[in-house]
Structure 1
Amino acid sequence: MAEAGAPRAVIWTLSACNFVIGMGAFVVIGFLRPVADAFAVSSGTAGWLMTVYALSYAVLSPVLVSLTGAVGRRRVLAAGLAIFALGMALCALAPSLPVLMGARALAAAGAGMFTPVSAAVAAALSPPETRGRALAAVVFGLTLAQVAGVPAGGWIAYTFGWRAAFWVVLAVALAGIWLVWTRVPRGLRFRPVALSDLGIVLRDGLVMGAILFTTSFLGAIFVLYTFVGPLLSETMGWGRDGVTLALVVFGVGAVIGNLGGGWMADRLGAVPTMVTLCIAQIVLMPAFSGLPYPPALVLLLCFVWSLVGWSFMAGQQVRLLSLAPEEASVVLALNAAAIYVGSAIGSAVGGAVLSSAGTGALGVAGGIAAFLALGHILWSHRAARLRSLGAG
């Protein structure tokens, strides 16, 4: 196990590497239009780069985490980053859109090994009273990618070409492998997991219903977020600099929301936090259907929307660990997969809305999806209470 001073260093190392994962996963949002132009397809078709990544992560992550359950955590983390880096290299070299999608799927497999294991390590190294903040710290890297990684990738893509953005992610991923290998202690092992553990969780309707709240909540957000670049270009007339600034503001909100969500989860409770955030999404997202607004108001809207959108993850993870503490690694892997199922569904729905009703309908569609997410968390909480009463 880690020595006394190691947990903080380990947690922030994992957070830094999750920054790399987040940048590689979501960087295409910042340059969907250049990719679409390069391969002579629509923005909606290019949006499938997010959908393919998401579906690949969702399918492969729980299986790969289960298959590697008996392997030392440092090796799994390093291997996941190495596979992710290989995927980024193939993305940069892809001669066609199908090849690019295949490379994205490979990168998703590596990310699917890394992120849930990093969360399980953070949870295991932290006492219960600070677990929400520890998980928020690990996820901080993913949200920081919204501040720096995604906007920087978009700026690089518009300035030097979209392939250059993937090369940058590759370089940072290689540095991440070194960081994991030198900073994460050898011999970190927790209760081994196997495919049988995956089966146990998959057959538990209550736990799976709770996990899938991640899908419904983030799916609502990605209806709009995937196409925020084309939306701002069409309604506000913003190009590279305007879209990049909006993504930076969105990212700042994501970072503050992530840290605030950990605080809320530890003090207010997971379910009240998530209900509040759903209501906020229902109110905020339809406002995007009213664009254009004054630029300062648009940036404020992006900030608040992101703030409440990214505040939910720590509370969701704490709730899942309370429902299935013995299956922590598998539950967190499935939750990470649910993130990408949500982004896949949201991206696909957003693409359909964009094609059929135009950019003006994206905000309203996202608000409707957030209303469904609210119903989901209320149902899931009621089911959990009924089970606990029955067990008592």
Structure 2
Amino acid sequence: MDFRVFILAASTITVGLVELIVGGILPVIADDLGVTIGTAGQLITVFALVYAIAGPVLLSLTAKVERKKLYLITLAVFFIGNIMTYFSPTFSLLMIARIITSMSAALVIVLSLTITARIVAPTLRAKALGYIYMGISSSLVLGVPLGIIITDSFGWRTVFLGIAILSIGSFILIAVFLEKIPTGEVQPLSAQIKALGNKKIVFAHLATMFMLAGHYTVYAYFTPFLETNLQLNQYWISIFYFLFGIAAVSGGAFGGELANRIGSAKSILIILGAFALVLFALPYSTFSVPLFIVVMMVWGALSWSLAPPQQDYIIQTDPVSSDIHQSFNNSALQIGIALGSGIGGVVLEHTESVTSTATIGSAVVVIAFVCAVISLSMFPRTALNPKTNETDCD
């Protein structure tokens, strides 16, 4: 495999860490800045929402900028955002810093994917992109326990100083090993918006969004959940997050294998149905730590198992616009994270019971299941090929 792919994957890990690493240290941040945990949870909500919008928009706005130069500029902005986070004395300034890091992280991830697809041979493209996605998922699920460990030893601000230092390493590697890459063809925003005319795929995007919303209704507040229900200290909480992360990283392989065996459509319904049940059962398993660990790891594995069958389903449904729809599906994922962390915050504010997040999260996943059923029940429509103006059957 081209060494440059691993450099790009390493960059995605660095920028991916910043999104959810605050999830495990929300109580510490809230206490330091004098806000409630629910308010602090909006650091995840706003980041994900800005990320979802910024990715396709910034890619279109910077379409004429040489790719390596743009990558380095974006990493520099990402560095500045993390330094701002480190020095932020108030919650408002911290939120501004999160917006800056969110926009820059979104562009780095999109650039990593598009550059990878261009620098490797077509026969290795899928495998190379797999490394990039592995970097993204690893950073999202393993960043939380790393944040807890670093915060417990050095304070929460050191987490973002460390990410800033890592971004310098990524900057140097990209500057040295990546050659100049000319701009390629980027779909204008108007074409991206028109692609949403396929209602069958729109409901698939909604299924992704509501599944992640249900997941993050609980996961964004998993630290107080563990503190309340299992009375765990920070050390054991970090262990539980690592176990969850290991299960989550393996979830993609499980989802892909399941889709290969029984098909994408059945896999989507099975995963969503099982996910709703596991979330609902989560608080009822806390009476036994071993049982809770099993349920938690099943939850973790299912949390990232939807992506492979969902992406395969999207490609099969609308091959002409599959690239655009995969971009939208990634945005739907981020909106789901924002929506879920927001819902969890509202639940905490109104019920004052972190245990209730699991019940509400399960109900949100049921909505995702309904959206998937609607999508799967629709007949494939005829898609218009934008290059030939001829119709292709989905």
Q: For residues 383 and 51 of structure 1, do their structure 2 counterparts lie closer, same or farther at Cα, with a shift above 3 Å needed?
A: same
Q: Would you say the 8 A contact 1:146–1:254 is kept in 2?
A: no
TM-score of the two chains, using structure 1 as the length reference = 0.88
Deviations 1:268-320 (A, max 9, x none): 54333322210121111112222533323222222211111112223333443
The residue aligned with 2:377 is 382
The residue aligned with 1:197 is 191
The residue aligned with 2:365 is 370
The residue aligned with 1:108 is 102
Q: CA–CA distance in 2 between the matches of 1:118 and 1:228?
A: 30
Q: CA–CA distance in 2 between the matches of 1:384 and 1:72?
A: 42
**Correspondence list, 1:168-317, <5 A:** 168-187=162-181, 189-265=183-259, 268-290=262-284, 292-317=286-311
The residue aligned with 1:139 is 133
Deviations 1:69-105 (A, max 9, x none): 3444434433333322221111111110011011101
Q: CA–CA distance in 2 between the matches of 1:265 and 1:85?
A: 39
**Secondary structure at 2:35 match in 1:** coil
The residue aligned with 1:35 is 29
The residue aligned with 2:13 is 19
Q: For residues 106 and 31 of structure 1, do their structure 2 counterparts lie closer, same or farther at Cα, with a shift above 3 Å needed?
A: same
- The one-letter code of the counterpart of 1:365 is I
Residue 340 (str. 1) matches residue 341 (str. 2) = no
Aligned-residue CA RMSD in angstroms?
2.7
Larger mean CA deviation between 170-179 and 245-254 belongs to 170-179
Q: Would you say the 8 A contact 1:258–1:314 is kept in 2?
A: yes
- The one-letter code of the counterpart of 1:252 is I
Q: For residues 260 and 84 of structure 1, do their structure 2 counterparts lie closer, same or farther at Cα, with a shift above 3 Å needed?
A: farther
Q: Would you say the 8 A contact 1:136–1:259 is kept in 2?
A: no
Q: CA–CA distance in 2 between the matches of 1:342 and 1:128?
A: 33
- The one-letter code of the counterpart of 1:201 is A
Q: For residues 181 and 157 of structure 1, do their structure 2 counterparts lie closer, same or farther at Cα, with a shift above 3 Å needed?
A: same
Larger mean CA deviation between 98-107 and 301-310 belongs to 301-310
Displacement after TM superposition at 1:371 (Å)? 1.1
- The one-letter code of the counterpart of 1:360 is T
- The one-letter code of the counterpart of 1:312 is L
Q: CA–CA distance in 2 between the matches of 1:71 and 1:207?
A: 31
The residue aligned with 2:87 is 93
Q: For residues 202 and 72 of structure 1, do their structure 2 counterparts lie closer, same or farther at Cα, with a shift above 3 Å needed?
A: farther
The residue aligned with 2:386 is none
Displacement after TM superposition at 1:223 (Å)? 0.7
Q: Which runs of 5+ in 2 are unaligned?
A: 384-390
Displacement after TM superposition at 1:144 (Å)? 1.7
- The one-letter code of the counterpart of 1:215 is M
Q: CA–CA distance in 2 between the matches of 1:312 and 1:73?
A: 31
Q: Would you say the 8 A contact 1:65–1:333 is kept in 2?
A: no
The residue aligned with 2:157 is 163
Q: Would you say the 8 A contact 1:257–1:309 is kept in 2?
A: yes
Q: For residues 346 and 384 of structure 1, do their structure 2 counterparts lie closer, same or farther at Cα, with a shift above 3 Å needed?
A: farther
Q: CA–CA distance in 2 between the matches of 1:123 and 1:323?
A: 22
Q: For residues 143 and 391 of structure 1, do their structure 2 counterparts lie closer, same or farther at Cα, with a shift above 3 Å needed?
A: closer
Q: Would you say the 8 A contact 2:226–2:237 is kept in 1?
A: yes
Q: CA–CA distance in 2 between the matches of 1:263 and 1:128?
A: 21
Residue 118 (str. 1) matches residue 118 (str. 2) = no
Q: For residues 199 and 121 of structure 1, do their structure 2 counterparts lie closer, same or farther at Cα, with a shift above 3 Å needed?
A: same
Q: Which runs of 5+ in 1 are unaligned?
A: none
**Secondary structure at 2:278 match in 1:** helix
How many pairs are equivalent? Answer: 385
Percent identity (aligned): 26
Displacement after TM superposition at 1:135 (Å)? 4.1
Q: CA–CA distance in 1 between the matches of 2:393 and 2:209?
A: 28
TM-score of the two chains, using structure 2 as the length reference = 0.88
Q: CA–CA distance in 1 between the matches of 2:207 and 2:175?
A: 34
Displacement after TM superposition at 1:148 (Å)? 3.8
Displacement after TM superposition at 1:65 (Å)? 1.5
The residue aligned with 2:388 is none
Q: CA–CA distance in 2 between the matches of 1:189 and 1:327?
A: 20
Q: CA–CA distance in 1 between the matches of 2:121 and 2:261?
A: 17
**Secondary structure at 1:187 match in 2:** coil
Q: For residues 20 and 79 of structure 1, do their structure 2 counterparts lie closer, same or farther at Cα, with a shift above 3 Å needed?
A: same
Q: For residues 292 and 150 of structure 1, do their structure 2 counterparts lie closer, same or farther at Cα, with a shift above 3 Å needed?
A: same
**Secondary structure at 1:359 match in 2:** coil
Q: Would you say the 8 A contact 1:70–1:193 is kept in 2?
A: no
